[in-house]
Amino acid sequence: MKKNIGSQLALYPTPVTVIGAMDGEKPTWTLVAHVGIIGHDRVLVSLAAPHFINHCIKENQKLSINIVNEDFLPEADYSGSVSGAKEDKSKLFQYELGASGTPIIEKAPLTMECSVVDVYNTPNFESFICMIDNTYVEEVYLNEDGKINYQTLKPVLFEFPTYEYLRTGEVIAPCLSYAKEIKKGEK
Ligand SMILES: Cc1cc2nc3c(=O)[nH]c(=O)nc-3n(C[C@H](O)[C@H](O)[C@H](O)COP(=O)(O)O)c2cc1C
């Protein structure tokens, strides 16, 4: 029998993102790995309530989710090391504003601009429930069918227990290919 290690936050790895929001005329950036998908039209961004970026998000009800790959992992990592309350992080990344007015990191392979539709409060955390307004992707990461190719985009993953970044990129099998084999009695 498996060892019971108690109540553990063990749903890892998760993708690492840099959340962007406008602080007046300037952007601010925060590294966030506690992100998730709700249904097919909402995403969740879980932030500790005291973080600097939270009030900027609430002010505009908008944020950007910048997927991190290894090309800008060092700067992304830095955005998770210091609070905007202590240091101006606005110059950390080259950026442009998207159609919804959120800051889009130039080096990020993919960015979603989001509108906040709800906030789910838990002790010391604010989880922003967002709808996706726009998705910007470097065209090299689109396949010939116009779909995002995560095999080449290679989002960096995070895991809390050992506090490390992990590499992605290999395809194991097409989804449901095993199911087809099992139905045919081949597995
Ligand atoms: C790898 C990594 C992942 C992180 N993930 C989260 C997260 O999911 N939620 C969160 O609130 N903070 C997370 N943090 C911490 C914030 O990024 C960090 O405290 C940051 O300095 C807060 O910045 P701010 O106060 O300017 O918003 C993470 C930090 C690191 C290094």
Q: Is residue 126 part of a domain?
A: yes
- Residue 131 beta carbon below 6 angstroms from any ligand 1 atom: no
Whether residue 3 lies inside any domain: the answer is: no
Into how many domains does the chain fold? 1
Mutate to test the pocket of ligand 1, among 31, 67, 92 (most ligand atoms within 8 A of CB): 31
Domain CATH for 121: 2.30.110.10
Residue 9 lies in a domain: no
User: Has residue 4 been placed in a domain?
Assistant: no
The predicted-structure confidence for 76-114, as pLDDT tens digits, reads as follows 999 999 999 999 999 999 999 999 999 999 999 999 999
Q: What is the pLDDT of residue 187?
A: 62
Residue 130 lies in a domain: yes
What DSSP assignment string belongs to the chain?
------S------EE-EEEEEEETTEEEEEEE--EEEETTTEEEEEEETT-THHHHHHHHTEEEEEE--GGGHHHHHHHTTS-TTTS--TTSS-EEE-TTS-EEETT-SEEEEEEEEEEEEETTEEEEEEEEEEEEE-GGGB-TTS-B-HHHH---EEETTTTEEE--------TTHHHHHHHTT--
Does 1 map to a domain? no
Look at residue 133 and tell me if it is in a domain: yes
- Per-residue pLDDT tens for 1-12? 999 999 999 999
Domain-embedded: residue 113? yes
Ligand 1, atom 31, lies closest to the CA of 80
Residue-number span of the structural domain to which 136 is assigned? 14-183
pTM, entire model: 0.97
- CA 17–ligand 1 middle distance (angstroms): 10
